[in-house]
């Protein structure tokens, strides 16, 4: 079993994680007293419909915000449906079922069978169906179809520091329309500010770190750093499904719906804020900067995603997730296994730290962009959780 990385973190990164965490907790302290994560023993309905949601998300595919939207709408509907319902299990089942059928009608037969397996009252099912219909109506035309997210991208003229397609495929920038979508909780998305300017001292330091530690054949990167970079390279929407699963199963219907509805609404708003900024600033990736500097064969350990550099989407998602999990579950130990490698964590912010480091060690981000992403994720979560508190949560 692999241990957590022990390489010293950049002091600025630690300050971001600790400082923004403090801001998020300050904004959400009222939520912690509510203790919404009420453990009651195994609740079959929560596990069943969590797994059905994961199956639909995998079957539908598409970019991350489309997957997050499915999770968010299904469990936001369940949150609405279970509040005050005499049959919260039935309300959750019907709400998630109806949203999933609306998003993936070809999965209806399997979803209908799952709904029929439950022993639910007519009143509970009615609560769920009303909530699902309301949520679907409210989010109609929200800009999060695959076509809207992947609208064609017209790049700026090439200049020092501006984004251009990255190897090996050199495809145009992807998910250019994501930042245009309507947020779920926030009326305004925070802006991380501009990226570090090429030619500045910080940029030179960051680029030198990526050059030394992020190259595929780097001799300076440790085995532990390589493991961290590869471990966190996949989609965080998929990875955090596995993070959440052990904590959701024991929750009753009401607590599970609150947790997952809040988690995915906050994380989707963080994703939208990231892409709004990415395509506002259009910063080039480290591989572009290094090849422009004369290192024509420099290749990152992890294939560079086809989007601009600033800010990091991975670190923003991880920070938003950490804020919700801390607010809703408190301090917990967790673990995650990917391709036979298991990493263990004493707190949610450690997952953020590994993403900050891992994107540098994978060669796909400057540390300053990772820090900016984490700061943005914490800020989106603080604002989103504060909004939920205003609504009595």
The secondary structure of 230-288 as a DSSP string is HHT-S-HHHHHHHHHHHHHTTB-HHHHHHHHHHHHHHHHHHHHHHHHHHHHH-BPPHHH
Which pLDDT value is given to residue 121?
85
pLDDT value for 266 = 98
Listed residue (110, 31, 128) closest to 74, CA to CA: 128
pLDDT tens for the chain, residues 1 to 393: 333 333 334 444 445 555 555 544 443 332 222 233 333 333 589 999 999 999 999 999 999 999 999 999 999 999 999 999 999 999 999 999 999 999 999 999 999 999 998 888 899 999 999 999 999 999 999 999 999 999 999 988 999 999 999 999 999 999 999 999 999 999 999 999 999 999 999 999 999 999 999 999 999 999 999 999 999 999 999 999 999 999 998 999 999 999 999 999 999 999 999 999 999 999 999 999 999 999 999 999 999 999 999 999 999 999 999 999 999 999 999 999 999 999 999 999 999 999 999 999 999 999 999 999 999 999 999 999 999 999 887
My answer on whether omega of the bond before 168 falls inside 30° of 0, hence cis, is yes
> What pLDDT does residue 37 have?
36
In angstroms, rounded to a whole number, what is the distance separating the alpha carbons of residues 276 and 272? 6
User: Where are the domains positioned within the chain?
Assistant: 11-148+173-185+196-390
Cα–Cα–Cα angle for 28, 260, 119, nearest 5°?
135
Whether the bond between 249 and the residue before it is cis, its omega within 30 degrees of 0, is no
Write down the pLDDT at residue 118.
81
pLDDT at 17: 58
For residue 127, the model assigns a pLDDT of 98
Residue listed under structure tokens 């572009």: 288
Q: What is the pLDDT of residue 4?
A: 33
Q: Specify whether domain 11-148+173-185+196-390 bears CATH 1.10.606.20.
A: yes
pLDDT of residue 152: 94
How confident is the model at residue 167, as a pLDDT?
97
């Amino acid at each position: 079993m692999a241990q957590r990385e022990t390489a010293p973190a950049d002091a600025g990164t630690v300050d971001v994680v600790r400082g923004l965490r403090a801001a998020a907790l300050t904004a959400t302290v009222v939520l912690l007293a509510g203790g919404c994560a009420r453990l009651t023993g195994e609740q079959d309905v929560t596990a069943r419909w969590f797994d059905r949601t994961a199956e639909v998300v995998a079957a539908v595919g598409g970019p991350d915000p489309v997957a997050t939207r499915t999770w968010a709408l299904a469990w936001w509907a369940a949150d609405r449906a279970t509040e005050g319902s005499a049959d919260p299990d039935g309300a959750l089942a019907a709400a998630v079922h109806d949203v999933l059928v609306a998003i993936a009608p070809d999965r209806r037969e399997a979803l209908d069978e799952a709904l029929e397996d439950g022993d639910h009252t007519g009143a509970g099912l009615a609560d769920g169906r009303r909530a699902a219909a309301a949520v679907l109506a409210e989010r109609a035309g929200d800009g999060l179809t695959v076509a809207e997210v992947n609208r064609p991208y017209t790049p700026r003229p090439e200049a020092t520091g501006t984004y251009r397609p990255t190897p090996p495929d050199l495809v145009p920038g992807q998910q250019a329309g994501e930042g245009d979508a309507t947020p779920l909780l926030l009326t305004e998305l925070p802006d991380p500010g501009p990226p570090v300017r090429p030619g500045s001292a910080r940029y030179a330091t960051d680029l030198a770190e990526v050059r030394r530690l992020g190259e595929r054949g780097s001799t300076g990167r440790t085995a532990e750093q390589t493991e961290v970079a590869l471990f966190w390279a996949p989609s965080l929407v998929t990875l955090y499904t596995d993070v959440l699963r052990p904590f959701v199963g024991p929750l009753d219907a009401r607590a599970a719906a609150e947790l997952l509805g809040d988690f995915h609404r906050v994380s989707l708003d963080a994703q939208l804020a990231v892409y709004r900024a990415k395509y506002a600033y259009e910063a080039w990736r480290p591989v572009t900067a290094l090849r422009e500097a004369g290192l024509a064969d420099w290749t990152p350990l992890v294939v560079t995603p086809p989007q601009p550099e600033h800010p990091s989407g991975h670190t923003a998602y991880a920070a938003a997730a950490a804020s919700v999990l801390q607010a809703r579950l408190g301090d917990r130990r967790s673990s995650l296994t990917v391709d036979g490698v298991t990493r263990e964590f004493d707190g949610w912010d450690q997952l953020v730290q590994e993403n900050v480091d891992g994107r540098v060690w994978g060669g796909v981000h400057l540390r300053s962009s990772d820090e900016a992403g984490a700061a943005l994720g914490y800020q989106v979560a603080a604002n989103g959780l504060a909004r939920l508190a205003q609504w009595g949560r």
